[in-house]
Amino acid sequence: MQENERRGLPDGWIHDQAGWALLIESKVSASPDPDQIRRHLRMAERRGVTEAHLLWLTVTPVRHATGSNVTNRTWSDLYEWLTDSRRKSEWARRAAAYFEVAEVQADMKQQLKTGTLTRFTGIPFDADNPYSYSQAKRVLGLLRDRLAARADLRKQLGADESHPGRGAIKARKETTVWDFVALKDLRGSTNFTKHPHLTLGITESQLQAYVTIPNRIQSRVRTQMLGPTYDDFLGLIRECTRRLEKALVGTQGATPFFVVVHRRYASMAAIPVVDMRLAFDPRTAFRGRHGKGQPRYQPEWLMAAYEALRHRRSNLQFQIGATFSYGSCGAVRRAGIQELVAKAWIACRPLIEAGRERKAK
């Protein structure tokens, strides 16, 4: 075989005896090469193919024209097709699982410079598919990127799509992996611990979507959020809670939550030691709830959170948002869960605005 003909061989070739052929060329780490595609088609013509079509699989879409008989699809397009809920093929499931493993390995080896092999299709964990840190990290990245690009989060909360979030997340055998979507308040800063941000977490049992107010925010911002009195803070949380209820209505297994965490670090790179974690349904702070399954009135939880935050003497952050249980929330296993996450974040807009409305004089 001559050298130029050998270079013209595609990765796959399906044909019949009547002169029809489908050529397949795939790229992962290498850049797409239009000249290579043209060589494939010329080689097919020299071999007597009268109707040649070529499927070009790439990590990111190819923008330049390559001819009407060339179809470009991304690996994530193929992955989504394989994972379609209507597809019952065992081989499709196996191929999709291979993509997931391959992407984790490619990420670790830094072979994927841009783009992904897979696409967010929901959180895969349940009783039959237990939590895996590497898969949680993969799914988190896909979901976080989708959310960061949403126009509603950009317009209503000032989400900053250009901010990379945590960036590279170190691989550890932990039961939680998390990332965040920055708000414009960051002004390009990578030090997200000084600014409110939108936190996304995948744990062994649930998906978490919180607005996080970190320990190191400016005292002025914290004071504005807490308000002059407890009643002011209660009114703010009441409004966020009302909006969360509306955003989550009809979604089984989705629950509003308020969280206060007290932690310390042995060193800058160490995993934090949690000295206290107070997590409760903020609906417990308000009267007027009746019926089976409704949270009971217990205002002391929010009062305790307020007092701790008002008289903070330690590394203390708080969050409000929603959790989505793998065991009871079927929505987590569909791509549409991103809609509920976005709605939960937007529902907490009053808290974010409380730190923006009044500027220092």
pLDDT in tens, 275-284: 999 999 999 9
Q: What is the pLDDT of residue 146?
A: 94
Segment (H or E) for 53: strand 51-58
| Domains annotated on the chain, with CATH | 3-82 (3.40.91.50), 120-354 (3.30.930)
pLDDT above 60 (res 360):
no
Give the pLDDT band of residue 171 (cuts 50, 70, 90).
Answer: low
pLDDT > 80? residue 264: yes
Quick: pLDDT tens for 116-145. 888 899 999 988 889 999 899 999 999 999
The arithmetic mean of pLDDT across residues 329-343, rounded, is 96
pLDDT tens digits for 303-320?
A: 999 999 999 998 999 999
> Which one is predicted more confidently, 324 or 175?
324
Question: What CA–CA distance (Å, rounded) separates 101 from 135?
Answer: 8
Alpha helices in 90-170 (DSSP H): 90-108, 133-148, 151-157
Give the mean pLDDT of the chain.
88
Looking at residue 115, its pLDDT comes to 78
pLDDT interval class at 1 (50, 70, 90): very low
Q: pLDDT value at position 3?
A: 45
Whether 173 shows a pLDDT value over 80: the answer reads: no
pLDDT value, residue 109: 58
Average pLDDT over residues 211-228: 92
pLDDT at site 102: 86
* Mean pLDDT across 34-41: 89
Mean per-residue pLDDT, 243-247: 97
Residue 125 burial (10 A CB sphere; 0-12, 13-18, 19+): buried
3-state secondary structure 229-293: CHHHHHHHHHHHHHHHHHHHCCCCCEEEEEEEEEEECCCCCCCCEEEEEEEECHHHHCCCCCCCC
Q: What is the structure's pLDDT at 7?
A: 56
Highest-pLDDT range among 14-18, 265-269, 344-348: 344-348
Average pLDDT over residues 326-348: 96
Beta bridge partners of 74: 58
Say what the pLDDT of residue 268 is. Answer: 64
The CA radius of gyration of the chain, in Å to the nearest whole number, is 25
